[in-house]
Structure 1
Amino acid sequence: MDIDLKIFCLVEGEPMSSAFSVKVSSADTVHDLKDAIKAKKSNDFKDIDANQLTLWCVSIPITNENKDDM
């Protein structure tokens, strides 16, 4: 059974307030996720192919220092 997922993304160097989400299925591949990210941020990645994106899985805790950036 496929499950719809909403993944929150952040481009390296951008503030957390610039985070965006993409929707993918649990059956999708990493390449499908890269395609979804490129489609969502097509202006930012206009000169980059989806397969050139490097993805990282991170956990960013909410602290007093960064909560205003959310």
Structure 2
Amino acid sequence: MSGLCGEVARDTPPAHLVTAGFDPLRDEGQSYADKLRSGGARSHPSTKRTCRTAFCHSPLSVPGPSSAAPGADLG
């Protein structure tokens, strides 16, 4: 399911969208950011121009938990 297919809810939180420069879905990521903005949500798109699609799927690209994580109120 693509976020481009649905409506933007009024209470959609701000989003930071990162796409890879060589990702075949890069344009869809930008379109989604535009859709969020047109629906009233704040969005900040960012493209890593020299990266391939795998940069965001690699387990090595995910940092460890924040030092604030143990005290986070999730509920």
TM normalised by structure 1 equals 0.29
Structure with more relative contact order (C-alpha pairs < 8 Å, separation 6 or more): 2
TM normalised by structure 2 equals 0.28
